[in-house]
Chain A
Amino acid sequence: MLLQIHCSLNEDRSQLKNRRENDEQNKLPFGGSGFLLSWNEDEGKLLFVRDEKKITALAKPCFPWSEPFEKISIRDLESNELTFVTSVNDLEAESKQALLSALKEACFYFAVVKITAIEEDFELRTWSVETEQGSRRFQTKLNAWPSQVGENRYIVRDVNKDLYVIENTLELDTKSQKLFWPLSD
């Protein structure tokens, strides 16, 4: 037990140090000892380039609901942190574009624009919705309530762990609002 704490303390300390270094690198002008991000559209791959070395990377927003474009951890495929981007705006144009493309993928969810029906079945609640991506029918458990993230913003997670987000309940049409009302917070 103690041993584990001991180890993780050390790990934390070294990570802290890394982060500080990374922050400093972030401030460096593009090039030099900084890094570059590039996006390969065909393969949907984010590449992290530093010192001529190319590493396939993943972008992980730390606060996907509150600040999806800020505080992003760039990690390699083994999930080691390569660098930490405080805000996409800190990056120069190409890297920024690349990161935004990667984030579009990492932060994908279904954006609900209309609720056509919510029906109860045994143990399940079936939702029929129109999303920006097309129409969809999905199920939640009866006691799995939508969770509120921000004012009037709700996330519904279905039995398969897919996410459906209502950006603003007040912007839904009246029928959708009526259907959603009993489930809102």
Chain B
Amino acid sequence: MTKTKKENANLNGKQLGVTATQLIDRYTDQPGELPFALRNDLLGRMAQDEFIQAYAFVDLNANYQLGEGWLLVTNKHLIFAKGSCETGSHESAAGYRFRQVSLKDIVKVREIGGLSVKKYVFEDNEGDALMTIKVSYRQDRALATVKATVEAIIEGDEIFESDADKIYQNELLAGIKEAQASVMGSQMSVIWRLLSYLWPYRLQVGAGFIAAMLLTGVSLIPAYLTGYIIDSAVRPFESGALDKEQALNMAFWATGGLVLIYGLRELFGWVRLRTMSTMGELVARDLRDEVYSHLHKLSLSFFSSKQTGSLINRVSADTDRIWDFVAFGVVEVTTSVLMLTGLSAVLISLDPVLGLMVSVPVPFLLIAIYLHGERMQKLFLRAWRKWSNLTDCISDAIPGVKVVKAFHRGDEEVEKFQVKNQSVTGAFNNIHEVWTSFWPGLMLSIHAIVIAVWFFGVPRVFEGDLTAGVFVSFVLYLTMFTQPIEVIGQMARMINRATSSAHRVFEIIDTEPSAVTSTIGDEVKQLEGHVEFKNVSFSYDGVRKVIKNMSFEAKPGEMIGLVGPSGGGKSTTTSLLARFYDVNRGQILVDGKPLQDLDVGSYRSKIGIVLQDPYLFHGTVLENIRYARPEATLEEVMEAARVANAHDFICRLPYGYETVVGERGHTLSGGERQRISIARAVLRDPQLLILDEATSAVDTETEKKIQDALDRLIEGRTVFAIAHRLSTLKSADRILVIKEGEITENGTHSELMNIEEGIYKNLVGLQNEFARV
């Protein structure tokens, strides 16, 4: 391992805010990379031209106890280093014991999975184990890479020097990153980042803040004024020091001042609310725009790893919560802090003793509110758990209501629900018990402070130590204490909620668009339809290979049929061709050019796809067909529908082509949906057509109709058609049988029929037999 590479790995980690090693340290209890001492030992053992290709941590020993071990694969050897305190013959200076196997001796790598353990057995040509390794699933991804590397080397594939540290770190963190795609250093960094969205609106924010501060300042005046009137007008008048005229005059001015103050107060209030809430809306809009447009740049794998509901929430509910925080939270917290300090300062300056008596308990009240929040969080967590039990119960039974009825289990379902409902109620009542007793208790302590002010203050008024006016101001100020205390006490929770929302939103924004959606590449103007797969391998999750070393060629205008057992990889093959995913190894050439070098957008606009599970958007039939080419004329749409044999049934719909279909609209049958999606593909007039079981959901007669449509359609185009019903493929030029990710048979119908014991022949036989029944 050279140093520059390590620095690279760290740099890459840093883009996420934290390095990969720091993350591993934060989330696991294993080293973030190969220990330095071990690396040194290895350097002593390895030959000059030997380098480490990949390594993995081995966390279980032979007795299933957690321990330290490392499995490394170099370009020559498989090395197991066991960290141990025991002494062994091959012990190194750093206390590692080594076992080493030459890669030449390894013939096969077997993996066996248990509940929470994965065993890798490296076998020689006699099937004897050369090395056996046990790990928990946490290490499995890294070990799969070691295994793949071993296999690649023994198969004689070309290998390149790789950054083993980075591979190890990425594989180890993959599970965590699936749950938490972007990892930010701390809550503070999330808040700063959120606040950075305010920058474009800094004028409004400034105005809002100034208004809020003035509001706070002005709010402090009326109580003071009341005390002032008492001391300078009411009491002097009563004692005769002031005549009625003068007293009235003073009162008049004071009232005028009050009018002005209240007027200003509400003016500032209006400015603050207005600017901040509209500005919050703008920030939320910016976020929503950014998130949604970013979503469309992300790869399909991102979508399959997240639930649709959660993505929808991020765009809607989470940005709404952020609006709440930006518009009110930020200002409210700052003004509350200002208010509390202002109040304390005024009180202490009015009367130091009473002032301190009031101010000193405030921090304790804040702590009490904070602790209460922590306790509530536990209770809320429990309630949330119970609540999700309940909603799971509903969301399970409602879509399955047909099954419930078929097995007559309605009563049991209701009973199950009632039990869960009861336990939710219990959890929530627990919460209510706690908060309902906390807040009156807190208010009681605040009242106690008021009582104390009265208790110590009133005698001092009589002693003449304290004027009546100051005392009244004091009491009035006290009533202003409660609200800011409450706000600050709940600040922690509010910030928590806002930052986790912000985090979810930033997570999407930070997910890098896959190469698949980038638009660098040659624009595709014309497609001939020549397709070649060259040793293509692909895996969805990086562990299980779904396509293995697949090679075939399709000439322009050829129709290729894909058949084979379910789960064999037919749909995956076509997904790769449509470049929904990028291949892991090998190459796909279209018209002789690697698929990666083509501009995705223009490439996809030249191909037509009918997916296995056609999806219609909420909208009219017309809109759905036109989705392929929005500028198509009504005649063209109808023509396409005719080709797809959809025109007839569309005419039978209540509003013809303008009938609303899709999720909430008119429900179409599977075959009807399929024909609309065929029309959609036809409208595009693609040179390369992919049909994934376009005729699976229809009866024989409709199938014949679609068949006729397809026969017309496939002329002069390169077509890939997947079918379970082999009759669909009668016009195919060539048929590929795909089983377990490999092409097991490839040839024309008659060629394949000549393979004794062949899968295709067997399938044809079965279907004919079935047809006779």
Contact = CB atoms under 8 A, between A and B. Distances in A.
A106 B175 contact: no
Interface string A15-35: 000000000000000000000
A162 B116 contact: yes
Contact of A134 (B65, B140, B180, B767): B65
Contact of B503 (A122, A138, A159): A122
Residue from A4, A64, A106, A162 with most neighbouring chain B CB atoms (10 Å)? A162
Given A45-B129, A160-B137, A163-B115, A136 B29 contact: yes
B422 interface: no
B180 A123 contact: yes
Contact of B382 (A45, A121, A135, A181): A181
Interface stretch (A81-89, A91-99, A107-115, A166-174): A107-115
Contacts of B504: 122-123
A139 B176 contact: yes
Given A122-B184, A182-B381, A162 B179 contact: no
A134 B29 CA distance: 11
B138 interface: yes
Given A133-B65, A163-B115, A182-B382, A77 B388 contact: no
A62 interface: no
B117 A123 contact: no
A105 B114 contact: yes
B110 A77 contact: yes
Contact of A58 (B112, B138, B388, B499): B112
Interface string B172-192: 000110111001100000000
Given A44-B132, A106-B114, A134-B66, A182 B60 contact: no
Interface string B498-541: 01100110010000000000000000000000000000000000
B500 A122 contact: yes
Interface in B97-138: 110, 112, 114-117, 119, 121, 127-129, 132, 134, 136-138
Interface in A54-87: 56, 58, 64, 77
Which of under 10, 10 to 19, 20 to 34, or 35 or more describes the interface residues of A? 35 or more
Nearest to A77: B110
Interface in B44-78: 60, 64-67
A3 B766 contact: yes
Contacts of B566: 4
A131 B66 CA distance: 9
B612 interface: no
Nearest to B696: A1
B115 A108 contact: yes
B29 A137 contact: yes
B27 A6 contact: no
Given A7-B766, A124-B180, A143 B64 contact: no
B503 A123 contact: yes
Interface residues of B, number: 50
Contacts of A133: 60, 64-66
Nearest to B506: A122
B421 interface: no
Contacts of B67: 134
B176 A124 contact: yes
B117 A108 contact: yes
Interface string B241-273: 000000000000000000000000000000000
Interface in A120-176: 121-124, 126, 131, 133-139, 141, 143, 145, 158-164
A106 B66 contact: no
B129 A42 contact: yes
B409 interface: no
Given A44-B132, A108-B117, A160-B140, A183 B66 contact: no
A8 to B, nearest CB: 11
A56 B123 CA distance: 13
A43 B129 contact: yes
A51 interface: no
Contact of A138 (B138, B378, B696): B138
A69 to B, nearest CB: 14
Contacts of A6: 770
A94 B129 CA distance: 22
Given A105-B114, A109-B116, A183 B129 contact: no
Nearest to A107: B115
B274 interface: no
A52 B138 CA distance: 39
A12 interface: no
Nearest to B174: A160
Contacts of A109: 115-116
Contacts of B180: 121-124
B389 interface: yes
A1 to B, nearest CB: 8
A96 B67 CA distance: 29
A183 B385 contact: yes
Contacts of B27: 124, 126, 137, 139
Contacts of A105: 112, 114, 117, 119, 134
Contacts of B499: 122
A150 B371 CA distance: 35
A137 B136 CA distance: 13
A146 B102 CA distance: 44
B28 interface: yes
B129 A160 contact: no
A36 to B, nearest CB: 19
Interface of A: 1-4, 6-7, 42-45, 56, 58, 64, 77, 104-110, 121-124, 126, 131, 133-139, 141, 143, 145, 158-164, 181-183, 185
18 contacts: A3-B767, A3-B770, A42-B132, A44-B119, A45-B129, A110-B136, A121-B180, A122-B180, A122-B183, A123-B507, A124-B179, A135-B29, A138-B28, A160-B138, A162-B138, A182-B378, A182-B382, A183-B381
* CB-based closest 6 A-B pairs: A134-B66, A43-B129, A182-B382, A159-B175, A163-B116, A160-B175
